[in-house]
Amino acid sequence: MASPGIDTCQGTFKLDAHTTLDLAECELRPTLGAALFGPGNPAARLDDDGFWRAWHTPDGPVTLRITSRRGGFDATAWGDGAARAIAAVPAILGVHDRPEDWRAHPGLARWARDRSGLRLARVPWLCDALYAIILQQRVAYVDAAGTWRQLLRERGTAAPGPGGMTLPPPAREIARIGFEAWYRMGVDRRRALAMCDAAFVAPKIDRLFDAPRDAIDHLLDHLRGIGPWSTGMFLGWALGDPDAVPVGDLHLPRVVSKALTGVPHGDDDKMLALLEPFAGQRFRAIRFLRA
């Protein structure tokens, strides 16, 4: 039951011949597990009770829960952004994705079969996704995830509805965080500036959810601290681009080389050459290899 004063929206998404949603074989954990940004994220959870996410929408804060059931999915949202969140559920579950376009490389056929429930999600919490990518620049993933948890513990607020979720700080507060506070959270000056710049244009980032590719590239190209690696990460992990490739990653070239050649050495040029047979589906290949 919704708390007094909290708007609630519900939606049911069936997987049958009478629906426009093609979500057959979609599974929550492989599709949305990466959206958790490390264990213990106060704004995201995936457990036996479904997938939970709290964030700030242009309409206001929201908590969303998606649960799977036989033949489909149920979604409930609480807060001023509830209607907007429910409308975004098909994209969150990868309705735009076309896994049937995949033509499995013989060396990846087993990976593809084992992860047949993986869809490439397009998430509406785009500012949070970009913050997470900025925090990961030049540091270990676990350290970046730890910074995010600390940021939410110190500056987050209670999210609407049940679930005990925490809202990340709104963009206006992130833009005001000083260098000393960032330093205490393990964030260097360069990443702190990028976080502030992203927060200043948060409304524009939110609008990228339905934007054409040229508008996405234009905005990202003009953000301080956002280069090819960050752009590739954002396109793939946040916007579900099946062909995105984050170049400049310390570990990814070695992962790709090890999986496809058995040799755990490589650079961006070698990685791009190895991924060339998957043109159009290179990010999906990366997801299979990294899963």
What does the pLDDT profile of the chain (291 residues) look like in tens digits? 344 345 666 655 554 333 345 565 689 999 999 999 999 999 999 999 999 999 999 999 999 999 998 778 899 999 999 999 999 999 999 988 988 777 666 667 777 776 778 999 999 999 999 999 999 999 999 999 999 999 999 999 999 999 999 999 999 999 999 999 999 999 999 999 999 999 999 999 999 999 999 999 999 999 999 999 999 999 999 999 999 999 999 999 999 999 899 999 999 999 999 999 999 999 999 998 886
Number of domains in the chain: 3
Q: Is 194 within 8 Å of 223 (Cβ atoms)?
A: yes
With a threshold of 0.85, does the pTM exceed it? Answer: yes
User: Rounded to whole angstroms, how far apart are CA atoms 65 and 50?
Assistant: 7
Q: Do 150 and 233 fall into the same domain?
A: yes
- In DSSP terms, 50 is beta-bridged to 47
User: Rounded to whole angstroms, how far apart are CA atoms 269 and 179?
Assistant: 36
Q: What is the pLDDT of residue 16?
A: 38
* Any domain includes 154: yes
Q: What is the pLDDT of residue 4?
A: 38
* Any domain includes 55: yes
Q: Do 263 and 197 fall into the same domain?
A: no
Q: Do 234 and 256 fall into the same domain?
A: no
Q: What is the pLDDT of residue 247?
A: 97
Q: Do 48 and 134 fall into the same domain?
A: no
* Any domain includes 106: no
pLDDT digits (tens, 9 = 90+) for 138-158: 999 999 999 999 999 999 999
Q: Do 83 and 135 fall into the same domain?
A: no
- Torsion sign across C-alpha atoms 207, 210, 215, 220: positive
Q: Which domain holds residue 46?
A: 8-100
User: Rounded to whole angstroms, how far apart are CA atoms 229 and 233?
Assistant: 6
- In DSSP terms, 184 is beta-bridged to none
Q: Do 132 and 230 fall into the same domain?
A: yes
pLDDT digits (tens, 9 = 90+) for 233-262: 999 999 999 999 999 999 999 999 998 999
Q: Do 33 and 62 fall into the same domain?
A: yes
Q: Do 152 and 204 fall into the same domain?
A: yes
Which among 164, 160, 133, 163 is positioned nearest to 148, based on CA atoms?
133
Q: What is the pLDDT of residue 26?
A: 85
Q: What is the pLDDT of residue 236?
A: 97
Q: What is the pLDDT of residue 22?
A: 55
Q: Do 132 and 62 fall into the same domain?
A: no
* Any domain includes 130: yes
How distant, in Å, are the alpha carbons of 115, 140, 211 from that of 61? 33, 30, 22
How distant, in Å, are the alpha carbons of 155, 197, 223 from that of 170? 9, 14, 19
* Any domain includes 119: no
* Any domain includes 52: yes
CATH code (residue 179): 1.10.340.30
Q: What is the pLDDT of residue 72?
A: 83
Q: Do 227 and 259 fall into the same domain?
A: no
* Any domain includes 110: no
Tell me which DSSP letter residue 277 carries. Answer: G
Q: What is the pLDDT of residue 228?
A: 97
